[in-house]
Amino acid sequence: MTDGPEPQADEVIEAYRRAAEVGGRAPSVHNTQPWRWLATRTGLELRADRSRQLRVADPEGRLLTISCGAALHHALLALHAAGWVPQVVRMPDARSADALAQITVSGRQAATAQQRRLFDEIDVRHTDRRPTIGHKVPHDALELIRQAAVNHGAGLHRLAGPDLDDLAVAAARANEIGLNDADQRTEMDYWVGGTRPTRTGVPSDAVPQSPPQTDVPGRDFGRPGTLEPGHGHAHSAVYGLLFTPGDQPGDWLRAGEALSACWLKATDLGVAVLPLSSVVEVPVTRQILHRMLAGAGHPMLVLRFGLADPDQAPVPGTPRLPAERTTWPGQIPQP
C-alpha cells in the first residue's frame, strides 16, 4: 500500500540521485567503490565499474559484486528512509554481467522505525582493524546479526573449535600467497597506503602501525599504517562465514546486500565488524572455507565480530569519491 499523490518525475529523479549518493558510502574491497549509477525518470540503474576492479586479487569480480551489493542495500535503505517504496530487479540483463540492479519506486510509504535506525547507522559504520577487547559479543546480538544476513538471502556460519584453528592457518597462508605474488603486491600498493588524494583506496590512517594481536590474522597490507594499534589481544573476537546457496554473480550481489544489512545491524548493537577477504580470494584457502560449510553453501566473506575498546579514539573516516564521479543523470558515457 502506498500513501499520497502521484510523485512528480523531478522528485523521483532527485530521490534516485540521493539514493546513489548514499550507496556510495557503502563498504567496498580496498575502498575501490566499483559501482556506477544511472539515475533517470525510469529508474536507478546500478552497474559494475570494472575500471576499479582488483584484476589480480579478484579476477572473477566476486568481491567487486559483493561491494556493489552493499551499495545496493544502502541505496534501497535510503529510498525507504525517504518514504519511497522501491522495487528491484537484480541482474536485469542476461547479456550484461555489468548490469547489477534496476531500481524503481512504486509509490510512497513511511519508513519503519527499524529502517530509519539502520539508515542512521550508515554514517556511523566503519571498518575497525584494531583488536577487539574483553567480553565476547553476546549470543543474542550475534543471532540478530545472523538473522539480518538470512533475511537477505545469505547465511552466517559461526566458526569455532577446529574450524577456527583452520581459519587462522588459512588466513596466514592467504596473506603469504598474496605478499609473495609480485602482481598482487603492485595492485595492493596502488590501493593501500599514503594519503590517497584520489578519494579511493585505504588510507594509512585506517591501517594499524603494527599487526594487531589476534588469533586469526587480518589482511596483511604489506606496509604499516599510522593508526595506533591499540592494546590487548582479540581473543574474544567471534568469526562468522557469510555464505550463499550458489556462487554466481546474482549470489555475490545478495551476499553484498546481506553484508550491508548485518554490518549496519551490528553497528546498531555496538558490535565492531572486520571483513577478511584474502582467504576468499585465494582458491586453495577458499576451498578450506567451502569444506567448513559441509554443503550448506559457498563462502563469500569471513567476518570478525567484537566489541571495540571504548577508550580508543575513533578510526578516521575513509573518504569516498564525490557522487558526480559515480552517478550519471543521463546516458552512461562511453569510456
Find the residue with minimal CB distance to ligand FMN. Answer: 27
When binding is defined by CB under 6 A, the residue of 78, 99, 149, 276 that contacts ligand FMN is 276
Q: Which is nearer to ligand FMN, 127 or 312 (CB)?
A: 127
Cβ distance to ligand FMN smaller for residue 81 or 303: 303
Counting contacts by CB under 6 A, is residue 149 touching ligand FMN?
no
Residues in 182-211 that interact with ligand FMN by CB under 6 A: 202
How many residues does the structure list for the chain? 335
Report how many residues bind ligand FMN under the rule CB under 6 A: 21
126 lies in the site for ligand FMN, by CB under 6 A: yes
From start to end of the chain, where are the E strands? 35-40, 43-48, 84-90, 99-108, 155-159, 238-244, 272-276, 298-306, 327-328
In whole angstroms, the minimum distance from the beta carbon of 202 to ligand FMN comes to 5
Between 133 and 273, CB nearer to ligand FMN: 273
Q: Does 63 bind ligand FMN (CB under 6 A)?
A: yes
Q: By C-beta, is 81 or 202 nearer to ligand FMN?
A: 202
The DSSP bridge partners found for residue 301 are 242
Stretch that binds ligand FMN, among 23-31, 80-88, 167-175, 239-247 (CB under 6 A): 23-31
Contact at 8 Å (CB) between 250 and 91?
yes
Residue from the set 68, 70, 282, 303 that interacts with ligand FMN by CB under 6 A: 70
Residues 284-303 that bind ligand FMN (CB under 6 A): 301
Distance CA 155, CA 149 (A): 6
- Min dist CB 221 to ligand FMN, Å, is 8
Residue 240 binds ligand FMN (CB under 6 A): no
Site string for ligand FMN, 302-331 (x = CB under 6 A): ----------------x-------------
Q: How many CB atoms lie within 10 A of CB 324?
A: 9
Nearest to 74 by CA among 24, 37, 146, 40: 24
Residue position matching grid coordinates 598474496: 178
Nearer to ligand FMN, 27 or 43 (CB): 27
Pairwise CA distance, residues 48 & 52, whole Å: 9
Strand partners, 157: 241
8 A C-beta contact, residue 241 and residue 293: yes
- Applying CB under 6 A, which of residues 12, 29, 48, 271 lies at the interface with ligand FMN? 29
C-alpha distances in angstroms, 131 versus 208, 210, 310?
A: 10, 11, 12
Query: Measured from the CB of residue 304, what is the shortest distance to ligand FMN in angstroms?
Result: 9
- Cβ proximity to ligand FMN, 23 vs 43, nearer residue: 23
Stretch that binds ligand FMN, among 60-68, 79-87, 146-154, 289-297 (CB under 6 A): 60-68
Alpha carbon distance 92, 151 (integer Å): 21
Is residue 144 helix, strand or coil? helix
Q: Spell out the long-range contacts of 89-95 with Cβ–Cβ below 8 A and sequence spacing 24 or more.
A: 90/250, 90/253, 90/254, 91/249, 91/250, 91/253, 92/45
Q: Is 12 in the site for ligand FMN (CB under 6 A)?
A: no
Label residues 120-144 b or e (16+ Cβ within 10 Å = b): ebbeebbbbbbbbbeeebeeebbeb
> Is residue 27 within the footprint of ligand FMN (CB under 6 A)?
yes
Binding site for ligand FMN (CB under 6 A): 27-31, 63, 66-67, 70, 126-127, 129, 202, 218-219, 275-278, 301, 318
